[in-house]
Structure 1
Amino acid sequence: MARRQRTPRRTDDNLPSAIDRFDDAVDAAWGRVFRGHPVADRIFYLASEVGDFSVLWLLIAATQGLRSDEDADASIRFSLLILGESLLVNQGIKRLVHRPRPTPTEPRPLHVRSPMTSSFPSGHASSAMAAAHLLSKRSPRLRPAIYLLAGIVATSRVHVQVHHASDVIAGAAIGTAYARLADRCVPGALP
């Protein structure tokens, strides 16, 4: 009986270049529309800055925690969940994927911290989406504002040219998945 030969698994050698073309197109379009405009530059550079180390999200949680003892406990649980997300992305996934960061196409008008880790995925986008999901459960009225802030923080990384658009998209997906998993695996973690 003749042994059937395995067909080698087909890989799409064009996928990396397609992602690069996508990233380049998004960066060029973003640059034409937003970069170099003083108001946009200030907003996105500030968003990038307050997104460092999840400072913005921890401050929002701490503010929510001032309402009651139950909210204070929920803020502590939120902080631990965001710490877990940061460890997963920044100490886990980034160490597995060694993607170089983009090279700025023009001088930066404002200072931005230059990360030393891999570009993929965006930790800012991941923490922003995880935080938005978790925080908006505690304050449903503020959901639109929280998600708007998360979107600004995530896209700020493309604006300041420390992430490719695909890094931000992947980070947002990871953060969303992490928050949904936290909802299921840690019942009652947040009211």
Structure 2
Amino acid sequence: MHPFLSFTGIDTSILYFFNSAISSPILDSMMQIITLGGTQIFWVLLCLTLYIFGGENEKEAAFIALTALVMGFFLSEFLKAVIARPRPYEVLSWVKHTTTVGGYSMPSGHTVAAFSGFLALYFKFGRLWLFMLFASLVGVSRVCLGLHYPSDVIAGALLGVLCALAALKVEERVKCFGLCNFERLE
């Protein structure tokens, strides 16, 4: 394992705080619901809804979000395979978790999806604070549920932001070259 990915005191201390110190059945249930905001199925359904029932802004937001999500998915899966960091509950006996998931921990795929998707919505609808709050809650939920370290979530957030910015550039190019006219797709 890479030295910078070893279990640092800060990483495990923050994990302990969110996963054990403030844990409660009500909070755990809320985190289970919040974490759904980082699932690919949530974003596919949301983007389809925006695209089918929305106007030009909604269609553009759906395009940016889906582009960012696809980029984020492949990049995060590649990085997980390269870094190969085990999930917290696999190596720390005190970590509470209600579910086991496959794959590696770094970066958090749910956080990548949440930040790339919610940032895409911000590009078209404004209210950065609201969308960043939703994305951040998804990241926190992953730590609370014992599925990721805080550093996994930070890496996922950064990757999600980068994917959203790249998807915005793709959308600008698509519009610039006239490859897709969102107004005519209604």
TM-score by length of 2: 0.77
Equivalent residue in structure 2 for 1:51, among 33, 38, 46: 38
Question: 2:95–2:146: 8 Å Cα contact kept in structure 1?
Answer: no
State the distance in 2 between where 1:23 and 1:70 align.
39
1:85 to 50, 56, 72: 72
Change (3 A) 1:129 1:74: closer
Taking the aligned partners of 1:122 and 1:30, their CA distance within structure 2 comes to 16
Among 74, 94, 107, which residue is 1:105 paired with? 94
Contact 1:183–1:189 (Cα < 8 Å) also in 2: no
Distance 1:75 1:189, change over 3 A: farther
Q: What value does the CA root-mean-square deviation take over the aligned residues?
A: 2.7
Structure 1 match to 2:179: none
Q: What CA deviation, in whole Å up to 9, does each residue of 1:122-153 have, x standing for no partner?
A: 11111111112111112214x43322221111
Say whether 1:170 aligns with 2:155: yes
Q: Which residue identity does 2:94 align to in structure 1?
A: T
Which amino acid is the alignment partner of residue 157 of structure 2? A
Structure 2 CA distance, aligned partners of 1:86 and 1:14?
Answer: 25
Moved more, 115-124 or 64-73: 64-73
Contact 1:98 1:119 in 2 (8 A): yes
Provide the residue aligned with 1:30 in structure 2: 18
| Preserved CA contact (<8 Å) 1:77 1:189 | no
Measured after TM superposition, the shift of residue 86 of structure 1 is 0.6
Are the equivalent residues in 1 in contact too, given 2:115–2:161 (CA < 8 A)? yes
Mark the runs of 5 or more structure 1 residues left unpaired by the alignment.
Answer: 1-12
Query: Which deviates further from its counterpart, 41-50 or 150-159?
Result: 41-50
